[in-house]
């Protein structure tokens, strides 16, 4: 009896492990490699229309939980681009803008100055590069830079200085961008 129970328990564990590996393999990053994992589903509600035009504005205000972690706002931008890639929305039909301010501001430091501030490589640097290469417009709030006492030459080269997040947000919303706060 004990052998049978042991066999059943082992079989159950193997089955659960196999299911976990099957589901884990379904996560994808079709446009932003290695970031913003998405899982495809069929027959879902509110699926992006491939023929639609999308203008999306991310307001990134929160820092990651620790300096060695990727900013969750950047991760969400990557996830959005990956979701639209899964839906076969052409890249030229998606316009994405993000503005970084508040406690998220240190995430836009270049590699040298991030290391100077936190003693580690900026975990956001590769993702910022991929987002820029994907056509995302990336801004940092000049007022936040001043508040943090960061000189302009400390900022990642893929980031554009804006006067303020308070000017970026209404400017893009007036152009029809949908706001996604982070």
Q: Where are the alpha helices (DSSP H) in 26-164?
A: 72-86, 111-118, 125-133, 142-148
Report yes or no: 147 and 102 within 8 Å, Cβ to Cβ. no
> So what's the pLDDT on residue 21?
44
Give the sign of the dihedral formed by CA 109, CA 113, CA 116, CA 122. Answer: positive
Q: Domains for the chain: give ranges and CATH numbers.
A: 54-181 (3.40.1260.10)
> So what's the pLDDT on residue 5?
47
DSSP string, 59-89: EE----SSTTS--HHHHHHHHHHHHHHHTT-
* pLDDT tens, per residue, the chain with 182 residues: 556 544 544 444 444 444 444 454 599 999 999 999 999 998 899 999 999 999 999 999 999 999 999 999 999 999 999 999 999 999 999 999 999 999 999 999 999 999 999 999 999 999 999 999 999 999 999 999 999 999 999 999 999 999 999 999 999 999 999 999 99
pLDDT in tens, 91-141: 999 999 999 999 999 999 999 999 999 999 999 999 999 999 999 999 999
């Amino acid at each position: 009896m004990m052998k049978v129970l042991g066999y059943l328990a082992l079989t159950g564990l193997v089955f659960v492990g196999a299911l976990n590996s099957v589901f884990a393999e379904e996560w994808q990053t079709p446009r932003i490699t290695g970031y913003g994992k998405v899982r495809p589903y069929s027959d879902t509600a509110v699926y992006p229309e491939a023929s639609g035009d999308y203008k999306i504005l991310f307001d990134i205000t929160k820092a990651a939980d620790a300096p060695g972690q990727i900013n969750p706002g950047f991760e969400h931008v990557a996830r959005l681009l990956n979701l639209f890639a899964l839906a076969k929305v052409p890249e030229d039909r998606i316009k994405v803008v993000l503005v970084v301010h508040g406690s998220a501001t240190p995430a836009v430091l270049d590699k040298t100055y991030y290391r100077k501030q936190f003693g580690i490589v900026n975990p956001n640097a590769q993702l910022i590069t991929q987002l820029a290469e994907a056509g995302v417009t990336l801004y940092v709030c000049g007022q936040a830079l001043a508040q943090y006492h960061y000189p302009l030459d400390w900022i990642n080269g893929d980031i554009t200085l804006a006067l303020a997040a308070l000017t970026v947000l209404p400017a893009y919303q007036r152009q029809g961008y949908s706001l996604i706060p982070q």
